[in-house]
Amino acid sequence: MYKGALVVFDGEGVLIDGEFLPELAKRLGKGKEVEEITFQGIRGEIKWEDGFYKRIELLKGATYEMCTDVAKSLSPMKGAKELVEELHKLGIKTVMITGGFSIVADKIKEEIGIDFVVSNELIFENGKLIGAKLNVNSKKAEALREIMRKENLENRVVIAAIIDGANDLTLFDEARLRIAFNAQEVVKERADVVIDEKDLRKALPYIRETYSAYANMHLVKVMTAARK
């Protein structure tokens, strides 16, 4: 069967059951301020990058130990590991493009077996949070295309994108199948499939169907070319 396919996921709220910065903010007594900025960005009410730096500014001074403790407390989304395993059985590569941080993303990558991750970086000095490096902005498709180029995945078709926020929408532009997972309304309006249950296994039948259709189409093209 044709195996030149890829599925791309958002991180927090999709592969990761929770959000790092809001959880860190709660421990610093700044939960309400950070939560509001977070959801303004997810809803598309403010520029995501502006919200990113506003939240980091509020949380400067958090200790490295506190940040790692919060990261350890975040778990994979229900069904994430099972979905990734089934995709791998089909020969589909998996990519997480997250506006979250490597301190969480790398942990989740190992736990569920995601092939590739692109994430942002927290910056510490003398054990205290002083800033962040922005590797993934609201134009997530750029980060996806870059990792595909870097990892020699450019010949693979993006069979599906699974996202939840307005800052993820450029990933829909790259995918054959657009899945909104417990998503904001602006995302649902653009989606082919809407899943309002926190279980990623619900996405598998739709991905299988799209993958099968594409693989069959590819086979027909190959056979037609062989006859010429």
Each residue of 65-92: pLDDT tens digit?
A: 999 999 999 999 999 999 999 999 999 9
Q: How large is the average pLDDT for residues 100-116?
A: 97
- The pLDDT assigned to 42 comes to 66
Domains of the chain by residue range: 5-18+77-227
Q: Is the pLDDT of residue 194 over 70?
A: yes
Distance CA 164, CA 112 (A): 19
Question: How confident is the model over 120-164, as pLDDT tens digits?
Answer: 999 999 999 999 999 999 899 999 999 999 999 988 999 999 999
pLDDT mean across residues, the chain: 91
Level-2 CATH architecture, domain 5-18+77-227: 3-Layer(aba) Sandwich (3.40)
Model confidence pTM above 0.85: yes
